[in-house]
Chains A and B, each alone.
Chain A
Amino acid sequence: MTFRRQGAFGVAVALLCLNGASGVIAQSDVLDLDRIKRATVFIMQARQNITAPIITCVGSGTLVSRDGLILTNAHNTVPNANCPGDLLIIALSVRPDEPPIPLYQAEIVQADEGLDLALIRIARTNDGRLVEPSTLALPFVSLAESDEPRLDTTLTIVGYPNIGDDAVADVRGTIIGFTAEPSGGNRSWIKTSAEIPGTMSGGGAYNQNGELIGVPTTAPVTPDSPESTCLTLQDTNGDGQANTSDNCIPIGGLINSLRPASFVRPLLRAASLGLGIEFLTASQQQQETTGSPTFSGLFFAPSVNEAGLPTTTIRSLPSGSTSLYLFFNYANMTSETVYELRATIDGILNPTFGLSPVRWSGGRDGGWYVGTSEQPLPNGLYDFTLFINGVASDSARLLVGPAEPAPSFSDIVFGVEDIQGNIAGNGFVLPVASTVSARFIYRNMVDGNAWAAIWVRGGAEIPGSRVEEAWTFGEQGTRTIRIQAPSGLLPGSYRLDLYIDNRLAATSNLTLAGAQDGRFARIFDDTHFTTADSVEEARTAAAINSFSAQTESIYALFDWQLLAPDTLWTVSWYIDDQLFFEQTLPWSASETGENFVMRITGRENIPDGTYRLELKLNNLLFGSQSARVGIGQLPIDRFSNTSGVQIIGTIFDTYTGTGISGAAIFIITEDYSAADFLRDWNQTQVFAEAITDRNGRFEINRLLQPEIQYSFVIVADGYLPITADGVQVTPDDETLDIPIYLTPG
């Protein structure tokens, strides 16, 4: 830090200079663990009792904005059967080496129970007073820009290791792998070598630049599960004893899975902008779950295609393989169901290829996979066991090692066949027609092998669609088969299963929807935006592509055709090309109709920006529309920067050496000098300010940016003020703790 002094208070400024110089430690691209720990909070979910709140669940969280947005897990914040509390208490590490102190109450702003992520906002002080977000200036962390953390990257995981007297802690580890799921592709989970205590779930995992790259996540299984771990802390039944008959707080086991920051970004964007999406047509019907959740039909695939479907099925993998996917069917699942995958190699538990207990992020019924990629699989006999709520559900075995080539089918692609016999279309979503073709690759086949093709719709084989015969098409090549219905195939989801010698060899899914538009399906039409006072008015209002600033809400409408109920579709909303909302849900309106209505709302108004709506099936785009609001661009958040140098310090009386309370420290923007400020005393000239506490301590609540020249003004009642111009920090400065002496005058 360097000062170029101006004004009459050279001694004091020189003191600043000396301290600044002594505080230079290379930092900008290294982990500022102190700041991260200060931004890490302990969250207690509680329910109100007559006398005192009863703690129902606990976890860690991380401040991701200076005005009090906290990133954490959903399982311990959103009320559910395991965590039924309705009050969120936020405790901060006021001193880094001491347990956290409850200071605030929070409310849920955004949550995705399946992904097990939630954003909560500080709303009240712990005595119930409302907190105006703009008055908060809390330390916070930023999310990593890159979505591509690499294997062997060193991680620091920060959170609260238990519910007792320990302070916020950090655990080191490396990235040892990635776990794939349909909800997030190959990077759905980051696996780490660190052994993270369960109460650190919801905290943060940081790279060497101090950026948050993932959220340690585990979901404690239900209290009645044999593997449940929980602690009793309070006498909740009022019998005068705190024992096993009282409520206990689930804490979960060790964690080695991190939910990547890329899943957080849309939630954070929506939360910080206050944006919400409402479905006003055929609102999402909650599917009633009857019966116990189950897994079945486990099989393996070496890879998945762009639609998230297995390319083929295998019973063994050759040595040196780097990817493996376990597919299975699920039924009666909910977002509160906790599932786990345990993997053993030659009987020894291997956490790299397993998944610690996490919330279910799929639908109620359907197909799912858990996989690993970009990672060599050692030779051996692999056993995979799936658990639901801590109870083993189903298992499968696979051999990795030298293997003889076996007959196989793979890479099923669906399309519309032209007169030359070519398959055309986008592969997995086709227009409703009377004939659909499927092409697949075959290898190592021997004429005479028994093979079969079975078409399935709605879980049942389509009568008359089965092909069962001896193979007569040679050793390898491609083959096309088709399904026909003279009266036309019905819209909906189809599956094709291919068998060799009565063994499932390949399987893939197809959606039939929309009218034929050349080789492709036209499902959504007339996608447009408008503004209106009611839904009814919106249905007839004219389309608008440019809205004025301060618009309170915008309606989005579209028509649809031949879209069968329960077909999965995806709604994505972007602002300035950045995703802030995405949801995949079963279609619940009629098969064909007009004016499906959604509404986008803001906290008060819709922020300026360019908004885009995308409608997809099977990751394929079928409808899109954009509109501008205001200037068509998001305003810059001047407080969003987490890089820079923090200034803290103490102001002393020169003669007595005691701290001066109530002194004001102003950092003036580079456009003004200290003299300008002392002449005008205008808040618009202030970059940041602070007031000293009873000990004379202060913290500048905004980070100084390197290479920018600031001015300082320090005033206190009964003391000569200090001013300095041309104050500059360097990228190598870390948090500067400055003593400043004021002279009585």
Chain B
Amino acid sequence: MTVIEVGREDRGGLTLRQRWSHYLVLIYGVAMLLISINLRDSILYATVPYEDVRAGIRAFYPKGWLLDNEGDYVFRVRDMTRPDFKTTIQVQIIPISVDSTARNLLDNLLLTRAQIFGQYRQYPRAAFQLSDESTATAVNYTFVAGQDDPFLESFPTVVAGQDIVVLQREQAVIVTFQVSAERYDQLYPVFQTFLEDLDF
């Protein structure tokens, strides 16, 4: 009698080694994916150290942002590749009297900026926890920004910003983040990272 086996698998086709090879390939692929994500993040979130000994400020700002320390601030960095408003982080130190409070300072900021920015709106102020567990005051605001050059045609951009105000002795440190309102949530982590690394 002849027995014919139909549709039977050849169970002996994959050896143990082959089976592990498959597993290793999968593991390797996942590892490469994780590494590349990490690499991408390290490029995207790469930072550059900045130190101003006189002002007592040490920070890490995003790599590839334009550094400017010639204005009335300690330093300012801007992401010049942004198509609309150039995302900005700025650290400013201003002298205050011993009687000044965060409210006084923020009132002054509001009054000054309302003269300069279009449609400047400030939202309720709130306590803000810094990375060293100290408490600061945060205020969010929006305004409308446009090109200064009267000979060019640009639509204005709605900008959202946040000021973190810290009073220490007779000076106030104001850390400012300003970004196109559309991208505020997307780019806020950049500011959070900056704040975590900021030392003053």
Contacts and interface: CB of A to CB of B under 8 A. Distances in A.
Contacts of B65: 681
Contact of A136 (B67, B80, B81, B148): B148
A662 B66 contact: no
A662 to B, nearest CB: 3
A127 interface: yes
Contact of B150 (A92, A130, A666, A698): A92
A684 to B, nearest CB: 7
B64 A681 contact: yes
B154 interface: yes
Nearest to A93: B151
A682 B147 contact: no
B67 A694 contact: no
A103 interface: yes
Contact of A693 (B116, B118, B153): B153
Contact of B67 (A94, A663, A681): A681
B154 A661 contact: yes
A683 B80 CA distance: 11
A661 B116 contact: no
Contacts of A698: 152
B150 A683 contact: no
B67 A682 contact: yes
B64 A683 contact: no
A94 B151 contact: yes
Q: DSSP class of B's interface residues: helix, strand, loop or mixed?
A: loop
Nearest to A134: B71
Contacts of B82: 662, 717
Given A694-B154, A694-B155, A137 B149 contact: yes
A528 interface: no
Contact of A662 (B68, B69, B84, B150): B84
Contact of B70 (A129, A132, A680, A684): A684
A701 B150 contact: no
B83 interface: yes
B186 to A, nearest CB: 13
B117 A693 contact: no
Nearest to B48: A681
Contact of A691 (B64, B68, B147, B155): B147
A662 B148 contact: no
Q: Report the contact-size class of chain B (Cβ under 8 Å from the partner).
A: 20 to 34
B115 interface: yes
A664 B70 CA distance: 20
Contacts of A127: 118
Nearest to A92: B150
Given A129-B118, A681-B65, A683-B66, A717 B149 contact: no
Nearest to A683: B68
A418 B150 CA distance: 70
Contacts of B68: 682-683
Interface in B96-141: 115-118
A399 B123 CA distance: 82
A699 interface: yes
A359 interface: no
A664 B81 contact: yes
Contacts of A716: 81, 83
B87 to A, nearest CB: 11
A38 interface: yes
Given A129-B117, A132-B116, A717-B83, A683 B67 contact: yes
A135 interface: yes
B177 to A, nearest CB: 18
B155 A135 contact: no
Interface in B125-184: 147-155
Most central of A129, A130, A697, A701 by chain B CB within 10 Å: A129
Contacts of B84: 661-662
A664 B85 CA distance: 11
A695 interface: yes
Contacts of A683: 66-70
A133 to B, nearest CB: 11
A698 B153 CA distance: 10
A661 B83 contact: yes
Interface in A683-711: 683-684, 686, 690-695, 697-699, 701
B18 to A, nearest CB: 41
A715 B154 CA distance: 18
Contacts of A135: 148
A693 B80 contact: no
Given A129-B117, A716-B81, A717-B82, A38 B66 contact: no
B109 to A, nearest CB: 14
A129 B66 contact: no
B80 A715 contact: yes
Interface string B29-42: 00000000000000
Contacts of B116: 129-130, 132
Report, nearest first, the 9 A-B pairs whose CB atoms are least far apart: A662-B83, A683-B68, A693-B152, A664-B80, A130-B115, A693-B154, A717-B81, A693-B153, A717-B83
22 contacts: A132-B116, A138-B150, A661-B83, A662-B82, A663-B83, A664-B80, A664-B81, A664-B86, A680-B67, A681-B64, A683-B68, A683-B70, A692-B152, A693-B147, A694-B155, A695-B153, A697-B152, A699-B151, A701-B149, A715-B81, A717-B82, A718-B83
Given A682-B67, A701-B149, A716-B83, 16 more contacts: A38-B151, A94-B151, A137-B149, A661-B84, A664-B86, A681-B66, A682-B66, A682-B68, A683-B68, A683-B69, A692-B152, A693-B152, A694-B154, A694-B155, A715-B81, A716-B81
